[in-house]
Every structure is written in structure tokens, then in C-alpha cells.
């Protein structure tokens, strides 16, 4: 028993040190810097903080409302009816959701949008429509049809059935989708920076501007605290709402979709074609603009300012492989710890590992600059880029491998132990062969996360370690049609790389794809 306990401690050490030093310690330093060194009232910055926080809250709330409205027709169609092309339609709307933020921002720039709040809102709707459709339709399609039929028998119209029966049952799913969209838009960085610049700065963008451009670290820390409070408040409000609005009812084992007929067929076709058509416009414009000149060839040419843009592809792939390796090792070890121990300690360990996923990437990058000068100064190290990527990717590896590890019967491990196998041998010969496929899928997730990460990378990347997203941003910041076209071409390269890996993950049948 003692050997097993010490084995658990040894396995837990690496994930604990990783998350402690590269996440908890930097965030704690940010909190200390923001609370100790900035006297907001005395410096007269309180009004500015409130204005930026207010704009962030306003745009996130409006983005969430517009996304719910834009997704409603397609959600209704794929939830209620079974029609040819339904699965394809659901897959197509997922494509914008898995694209890196810098690609989406560049796609809207290719349409002529920029420095506009409406461009930011449109890009947020473009990104998050899939969240609403997938989250709500999964529940809607399994509502017991007898509940709605009973209401119709009692004389209720179709609208009354929806308002009094269907909608109350869907409120938890709608709230879940709305909370996810709100958090994504509240912490949005790449889209806001590219389409709004500093003129429409949110908390995320202002943290970047104060830390990188103006070198005002105390103010950046204060802004990071405001953002952390906002995210925590939103999560708490959602949790309380779910507790109050929870409804207990029996789901159908299979979906209750039916074939559309008459006017419903036309409405379904209109909903599907209009939604997919609208979401396709930015991507088609991006691809078209990228081929309007010899921009792909120019990516291989040397430039006195940005160097050879194509070198960013090699950097991104190298960092992605390193981040994938780190995230896979840490994530699998963490999942083994969580499944190997029961109780509150295991639950808290699991929760702590998930925290980077709900924390702003800009806050993580800023925390690296503030904190990682001790005990060894790592702030100029190129290793910070894959480490930042791995920090965000570890939760994907944990979530991919945890269900598989939990499915292994305890009796199997106990039988091996009785026969004299050490804990390490039990892991090598029983757990590892079973969990290897899930770990491979988690590794692919980590690779995609690394390819598209922009927020934290913008803090720690150097001129010789540019990634594809940071190179796209640099090209967009230069005047001239050539630089703009090269940014379009780089965005297409990133989109193709991301889409190819996501297609592999989807073929591995791991379920719905998360936001990278």
C-alpha cells in the first residue's frame, strides 16, 4: 500500500510542478503586482478602467445575444427534422469554430471590414454559431414528443407549445451555450486586435497594449485582475442559474427528428442555406484574395523587416511538436493521478488542471513576463512559446484520456498486482495499451491548439521565433497590398493545417470538436 501511495505522489509531482510554476505562480504575481503597486484612485485611472471593462462587458453581451439569434433558425432545423445533408450542415458550421482567431480576423479584413465594432460582432457570431447549434440541438432533438403532443391536444398553438413546453426544457442548454459564447467573446483577443485595434480595446487588448507597447505593468496587472473577476463572476452566475432553473425529465434514447413536409421543407432549406451561406462568405473571400497575386511565392522571399515569412511555418510546426509532447506527457500523467485516487484531493487536482483553459491567454503570456525571471530567467527563452501552448493544451489531453482510464475495471489492475506486478508495470502493460489511442487524439488536439495560439505567443515570441499567427499580425500591420495579400496567404496555410488535423480527429470519432 505504501508503495502505491508513493507511486501516486511521484506521478502527481510533474503535473503539479508544471501547473504550479507556469500557471498558479504567474497568476499570483499578477495579482500581487496589480493590488500592491497601482493606486487607481490616486492616479485617476478608475474611470478608464471602468470604461474599458464596460465596453468589454457590452460587446460580449451583445455578441452573445446576436449569436443566439443567428443560430436559432439552423438549431431549430437540425433539432426538429431529419433531412438529407443534416450531418454535413452540422459539420460545415463547425469549421469556423475550430479556426484560429487570427484566421477569422484576417478573413473579415479581406472583406473590407476593420476598425469597426460591427466587424468584431460579426466575427464573434461567425465563430460561435456552432456552439449554440451543437449544444442546444443535442438536447432539443431528444425531448419526449408526447409532452408537446399533450399540449396540442389541450388546444395549444404551435407557438404556445414552444413557449410553454419546449423553451422551458431548453433553458439549461441555452444558458450553457450562452455562457460559453459569453466567455469566448469576453476574453476575445485576436479578433478584437485585428478588427478593432486599440480604438475598440477590450480588457484583453488593453492588457496587451499596456504591457507590450506602453510597458505599464502595474496597470496591465490591474486590468488582468478586473478580467479574472469578470470571468469568475460570469461562471458563478451561470452556476447559480443552472441550480435555479434545473428541470428533471427523461430524455429519449434516440432523437425524435421527423422528415419535413410542405412549408416546413422550405423553411428548413432556407435556414440551412442562409446560415451556411453567410458563414462561408468570409472564408471564400480570404481564399480568393490570397490567390489574387503572387502572394504565396512572396512568402518564400526574404524581407528586411519580417525575414522569410514561410519560416514562421517551420517555427509553428516545431513549437507544436514540442508543445504536443509536453502536454501529452503532463496530461496523461495527470489523468492517471485523477483516476488512481478518489476524493476531494483528486477533484481539486482535476479542477486546477482545467483553470488555464478558462483563463485569458494574454493573462498567461503577461504572467510569464512578470514572474518567470526567478529562480532562472526564462523570459527570453524560446521554450516559453511551446510551454505556453502546452499549458493551454493540457486540459484537452486530460479530457481525452480520462474517460478511457476510468473505463478500465479496477479488478484488472488488482489481479496484476496480486500476481506481483509493480505499479509501473501495471501501467505499462494494462493502462498504456488501452489509453494510447485516446492519448494520440489528445496529442492531436494539443498540436492544433499550438498552431493557432496567438494571445500568449504575442507576449513571448521574438523576431526570430515568429509563429504563423504572429507573422500574420505583423504582415497585416504593414502598409501595402503585397503585405496584405501575404497575410491572406499565410492565413490560408494555417487554416489548411488546422482543418486537416481536425478532420483526422473527427474521423477518430472523439465527438464534438472544442474551440482552439
The pLDDT of residue 4 is above 70: no
Q: Compute the average pLDDT of residues 348-355.
A: 73
Residue 338 lies in a domain: no
**Highest mean pLDDT: which range of 118-122, 134-138, 194-198, 484-488:** 118-122
Is 259 part of a structural domain of the chain? yes
**244 within some domain:** yes
Residue 169, in any domain of the structure: yes
Predicted pLDDT of residue 2: 45
User: At residue 142, does pLDDT exceed 90?
Assistant: no
In a domain? residue 406: no
For 379-389, what is the mean pLDDT? 85
Please state the domain count of the chain.
Answer: 1
Cell of 218: 502595474
Cell digits of residue 484: 496584405
Average pLDDT, the chain: 77
Q: What is the pLDDT of residue 346?
A: 67
Surface-to-core class of residue 87, CB atoms within 10 Å of its CB (0-12 exposed, 13-18 middle, 19+ buried): exposed
Report yes or no on 332 lying in a domain.
Answer: no
The SS3 assignment for 111 reads: coil
Adjacent-strand bridge partners of 19 = none
356-378 confidence digits (pLDDT tens)? 766 777 778 878 888 887 777 78
pLDDT of residue 419 exceeding 70, the answer is no
Confidence of residue 441 (pLDDT cuts 50, 70, 90): confident
Mean predicted confidence (pLDDT) in 104-111: 83
Residue 477, SS3 per DSSP: coil
Q: In the 3-class helix/strand/coil scheme, how is 301-336 assigned residue by residue?
A: CCCCCCCCCCHHHHHHHHHHHHHHHHHHHHHHHHHH
Does residue 431 fall inside a structural domain?
no
Looking at residue 341, its pLDDT comes to: 62
CB-count exposure of residue 351 (10 Å: 0-12, 13-18, 19+): exposed
**DSSP one-letter string for 226-280:** HHHHHHHHHHHHHHHHHHHH----PPPSS---B---THHHHHHHHHHHHHHHHHH
Name the β-bridge partners of 258: 81
Answer whether residue 459 is part of any domain: no
| Domain span at 242 | 47-278
Residues 6+ apart with CB under 8 A from 20: none
Residue 58 — very low, low, confident or very high, per pLDDT cuts 50/70/90? very high
Is residue 454 helix, strand or coil? coil
Q: pLDDT at position 63, please?
A: 94
Rounded Cα–Cα distance for residues 206 and 49 (Å): 10
CATH of residue 244: 1.10.3720.10
pTM of the model: 0.73
Helix%, strand%, coil% for the chain, nearest 5: 80, 0, 20
User: Quick one: average pLDDT of 339-353?
Assistant: 68
Q: Which helix (H) or strand (E) holds 494?
A: helix 481-507
Please name the residues in contact with 381: beta carbons below 8 A apart, sequence gap of 6 or more. none
CA pair distance 287, 202, nearest whole angstrom: 29
What's residue 456's pLDDT? Answer: 82
| Strand segments (E) across 323-396 | none
Reported as a single tens digit per residue, the pLDDT across 199-227 is: 888 888 888 888 777 777 777 777 777 77
> Distance of CA 459 to CAs 21, 214, 231, 455, Å?
18, 13, 21, 7
Amino acid at each position: 500500500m505504501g508503495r502505491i501511495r508513493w507511486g501516486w505522489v511521484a506521478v502527481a509531482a510533474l503535473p503539479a510542478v508544471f501547473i504550479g510554476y507556469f500557471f498558479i505562480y504567474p497568476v499570483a504575481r499578477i495579482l500581487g503586482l496589480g493590488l500592491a503597486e497601482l493606486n487607481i484612485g490616486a492616479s485617476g485611472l478608475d474611470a478608464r478602467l471602468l470604461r474599458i471593462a464596460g465596453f468589454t462587458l457590452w460587446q460580449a453581451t451583445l455578441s452573445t445575444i446576436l449569436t443566439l439569434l443567428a443560430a436559432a433558425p439552423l438549431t431549430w432545423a437540425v433539432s426538429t427534422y431529419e433531412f438529407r445533408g443534416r450531418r454535413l450542415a452540422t459539420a460545415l458550421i463547425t469549421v469556423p469554430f475550430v479556426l484560429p482567431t487570427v484566421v477569422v480576423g484576417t478573413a473579415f479584413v479581406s472583406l473590407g471590414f476593420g476598425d469597426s465594432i460591427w466587424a468584431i460582432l460579426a466575427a464573434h457570431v461567425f465563430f460561435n454559431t456552432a456552439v449554440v447549434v451543437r449544444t442546444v440541438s443535442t438536447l432539443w432533438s431528444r425531448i419526449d414528443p408526447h409532452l408537446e403532443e399533450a399540449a396540442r391536444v389541450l388546444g395549444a398553438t404551435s407557438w404556445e407549445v414552444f413557449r410553454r413546453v419546449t423553451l422551458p426544457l431548453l433553458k439549461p442548454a441555452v444558458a450553457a451555450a450562452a455562457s460559453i459564447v459569453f466567455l469566448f467573446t469576453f476574453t476575445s483577443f485576436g479578433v478584437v486586435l485585428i478588427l478593432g485595434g486599440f480604438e475598440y480595446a477590450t480588457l484583453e487588448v488593453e492588457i496587451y497594449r499596456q504591457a507590450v507597447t506602453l510597458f505599464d505593468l502595474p496597470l496591465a496587472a490591474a486590468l488582468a485582475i478586473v478580467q479574472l473577476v469578470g470571468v469568475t463572476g460570469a461562471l458563478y452566475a451561470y452556476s447559480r442559474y443552472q441550480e435555479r432553473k434545473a428541470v428533471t425529465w427523461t430524455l429519449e434514447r434516440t432523437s425524435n427528428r421527423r422528415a419535413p413536409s410542405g412549408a416546413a421543407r422550405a423553411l428548413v432549406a432556407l435556414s440551412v442555406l442562409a446560415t451556411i451561406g453567410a458563414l462561408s462568405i468570409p472564408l471564400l473571400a480570404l481564399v480568393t484574395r490570397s490567390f489574387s497575386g503572387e502572394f504565396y511565392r512572396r512568402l518564400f522571399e526574404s524581407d528586411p523587416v519580417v525575414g522569410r515569412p514561410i519560416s514562421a511555418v517551420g517555427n509553428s510546426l516545431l513549437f507544436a511538436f514540442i508543445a504536443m509532447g509536453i502536454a501529452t506527457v503532463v496530461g496523461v500523467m495527470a489523468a492517471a493521478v485523477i483516476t488512481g485516487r478518489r476524493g476531494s484531493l483528486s477533484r481539486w487536482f482535476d479542477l486546477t488542471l482545467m483553470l488555464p483553459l478558462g483563463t485569458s491567454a494574454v493573462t498567461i503570456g503577461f504572467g510569464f513576463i512578470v514572474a518567470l525571471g526567478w529562480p532562472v530567467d526564462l523570459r527570453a527563452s524560446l521554450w516559453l512559446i511551446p510551454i505556453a501552448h502546452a499549458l493551454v493544451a493540457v486540459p484537452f489531453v486530460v479530457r481525452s484520456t480520462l474517460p478511457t482510464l476510468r473505463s478500465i475495471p479496477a479488478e484488472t489492475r488488482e489481479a496484476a498486482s496480486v500476481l506481483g506486478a509493480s505499479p509501473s508495470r501495471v501501467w505499462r502493460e494494462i493502462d498504456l495499451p488501452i489509453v494510447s489511442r485516446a492519448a494520440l487524439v489528445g496529442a492531436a488536439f494539443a498540436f492544433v491548439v499550438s498552431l493557432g495560439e496567438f494571445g500568449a505567443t504575442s507576449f513571448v515570441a521574438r523576431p526570430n521565433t515568429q509563429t504563423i499567427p504572429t507573422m500574420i499580425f505583423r504582415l497585416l500591420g504593414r502598409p501595402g497590398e503585397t503585405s496584405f495579400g501575404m497575410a491572406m496567404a499565410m492565413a490560408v496555410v494555417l487554416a489548411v493545417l488546422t482543418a486537416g488535423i481536425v478532420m483526422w480527429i473527427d474521423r477518430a470519432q472523439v465527438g464534438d470538436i472544442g474551440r482552439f
